[in-house]
Amino acid sequence: MTLLDNPVQLILGSIALLSAVSMLLLKKPVHACLSFLVTLLSLASLYLQLHAPFIAVMQVLVYAGAILVIFMFVIVLFQDAYLQIAESKAKSSPLLRTGAICLFIATLLFLGSHLEKLPFLNSPKSLDYGSANALGEALYIDFFFPFEAVGLLFLIAVVGALYIGRKAT
């Protein structure tokens, strides 16, 4: 399997990478948020290409819909904070930043070179792979206990947050 087997996935992956990098490099938060939207929509399109329609719809509804709205509320709340951040100087040395970037690139190259050797990538998938039915069966039959344990963990976190955030009377 090469990159040119499916040019649509190559184009969508390139769009996702370019918009993610532009999200990091843009100075204005609203422009970065719009670039993040392009990243999320291109990832949803990739999920459709990979025959996972349920995950694609959840990507659009949850991330591109709800999470991005929360980001915009935070941006509106702290309108001029990015100007104060831009005025402050970075406290890390250029050598440390260069080393971190080199280490990150080396890690990506190492993981990328070992990616094709993973056994589940070349295994045949069933026809309903990625559908809502297959995901529901996986969550409620195959992984019922971990799914419920995570739900309980979220419930404990919400109760703890409410307890910490309560006002003393």
Span 62-107, pLDDT tens digits? 888 888 888 888 888 877 776 777 677 777 788 998 999 999 999 9
Q: Is the CB of residue 65 less than 8 Å from the CB of residue 41?
A: no
Distance separating alpha carbons of residues 75 and 81, to the nearest angstrom: 9
Q: Is the CB of residue 29 less than 8 Å from the CB of residue 63?
A: no
Number of other CB atoms surrounding residue 54 within 10 Å? 15
pLDDT at 3 over 60: no
pTM greater than the 0.75 cutoff: no
